[in-house]
Amino acid sequence: MKFVLSGVKPTGIPTLGNYLGALKNFVRLQNEMKEFEFLIFVADLHAITTPQDPQELKEHTRSVAALYLASGLDLDNLTLFIQSEVHEHVELGYVMQSLAYMGELERMTQYKDKMQKQVQGVTSALFTYPALMAADILLYDASYVPVGDDQIQHLELTRNLATRFNNRYHDFFTVPEPLTVKVGSRIMDLQSPTNKMDKSAENPKGCISLLDSIPTIKKKIKAAVTDNEAKVYFDSEKKPGISNLMTIYSSITGDSLQAITALYEGKGYGDFKNDLAEIVAKEIEQVQTKYFEWIHSPMLDEILDEGKARASMFARSKLQKLYSLMGIGR
């Protein structure tokens, strides 16, 4: 069995950035890569690397699972599960910590960024988080890992750890490849378009949550920060706001950036933003309709139970082989 694997943290309701950079991409890949099984999980143990309210964490965990399904994943080749329900992730995570060097983890930009933003104490789990992420992937010998731009560095570390293990012991782990989308792998904040749109961002105005009301979504798009030039064309350095909106437009409609420029030639930002507001609202409305069906359906738990059983079966077998290879246990 060959796997494509990915996860989303339930640190909040996923954003338009998560949707375009991750969820929508999984659906597209599932259609293109029929011979692969898709292992998709809710990374709840990753979420607690920053403080979480228990009630909210539980709700967000279910919501992320329902949003995966609402985005249109095909149940036929999908194993959907909650990370904490497959205990082997943590065990292999510890083994990965025994392989990863302090210096390697210190170089991770997500850790450095979050460390700067954190007001309370920075936890050791935030530091060792990439080792757990490596375990998530290597436990299943995933061949491909679709992620947004911000995760490429963690993927590189995962590849290094797999290779290090294979050289030290024996050829044991598949070295995974990242898969990123050409357009949309880094959607920026609508109010400060030089920062990534983040679900744990402090200012909700710049961030579209997949469960925002439709009027709120339109309002946020229309209020997005742009520039004074009033000409629609792509230049991420000089026009980060408009370029970000064009990226959103392109990743939903499939139109190229050139085609969008041509379409809005001679028109102002008002027309462009009005159209984009409608496009985004229509896309998210479809997801929301399905979301409200899934979140209240007993089938959601059935799918997660089946996912847990199937993922555990692979994980247990891999970990037993690993322990035996490393001389752990009797």
Interface residue with ligand ATP among 52, 63, 83, 151 (CB under 6 A) is 151
Q: Quick one: what does residue 136 bind among ligand LTN, ligand ATP, none, with the CB cut-off 5 to 8 Å set by partner type?
A: ligand LTN
186 binds ligand ATP (CB under 6 A): yes
Q: Quick one: what does residue 89 bind among ligand ATP, ligand LTN, none, with the CB cut-off 5 to 8 Å set by partner type?
A: none
- What number of residues does the chain have? 330
Catalytic site includes residue 196: yes
60 binds ligand LTN (CB under 6 A): no
DSSP assignment of 62-117 equals HHHHHHHHHTT--GGGEEEEEGGGSTHHHHHHHHHHTTS-HHHHHT-HHHHHHHHH
Q: Rounded to an integer, what distance in angstroms lies between the CA atom of residue 241 and that of residue 189? A: 9
Task: Tell the residue number behind the tokens 């359906």, with chain if given.
Answer: 297
3 state SS of 19: helix
Q: Choose the binding region for ligand ATP from 7-15, 220-228, 285-293, 303-311 (rule: CB under 6 A).
A: 7-15
Minimum distance from residue 136 beta carbon to ligand LTN (Å):
4
Tell me the β-bridge partners of 40.
6, 80
Binding mask 19-38 for ligand ATP (x = CB under 6 A): -xxx----------------
- For ligand LTN, the binding residues in 142-181 under the rule CB under 6 A are 145, 147, 151, 154
Which residues are within 8 A (CB) of 106 and not within 5 positions of it... i.e. 6 or more apart? none
Minimum distance from residue 255 beta carbon to ligand ATP (Å):
19
96 binds ligand LTN (CB under 6 A): no
Q: Rounded to an integer, what distance in angstroms lies between the CA atom of residue 64 and that of residue 60? A: 6
Interface residue with ligand ATP among 154, 159, 199, 273 (CB under 6 A) is 199
Q: How many CA atoms lie within 13 A of 312 on its CB side?
A: 11
Among 24, 199, 239, 273, the active-site one is 199
Among 24, 196, 239, 273, the active-site one is 196
Site size for ligand LTN (CB under 6 A): 13
Which of 327, 325, 289, 299 shows the shortest CA–CA distance to 67?
289
- For ligand LTN, the binding residues in 114-143 under the rule CB under 6 A are 133, 136-137
Which residues are within 8 A (CB) of 308 and not within 5 positions of it... i.e. 6 or more apart? 81, 82, 85, 86
Interface residue with ligand ATP among 147, 248, 281, 284 (CB under 6 A) is 147
Q: Rounded to an integer, what distance in angstroms lies between the CA atom of residue 302 and that of residue 304? A: 5
Q: Choose the binding region for ligand ATP from 13-21, 32-40, 75-83, 233-241 (rule: CB under 6 A).
A: 13-21
Between CA 53 and CA 25, with CA 93 as vertex, the angle to 5 degrees is 70
- The distance in angstroms from the start CA to the end CA of the chain is 30
Minimum distance from residue 157 beta carbon to ligand ATP (Å):
15
Active site residues: 114, 196, 199
Residues that bind ligand LTN (CB under 6 A): 5-7, 9, 43, 46, 133, 136-137, 145, 147, 151, 154
Q: Which residues bind ligand ATP (CB under 6 A)?
A: 8-9, 11, 17-18, 20-22, 43, 147-148, 150-151, 185-187, 196-200
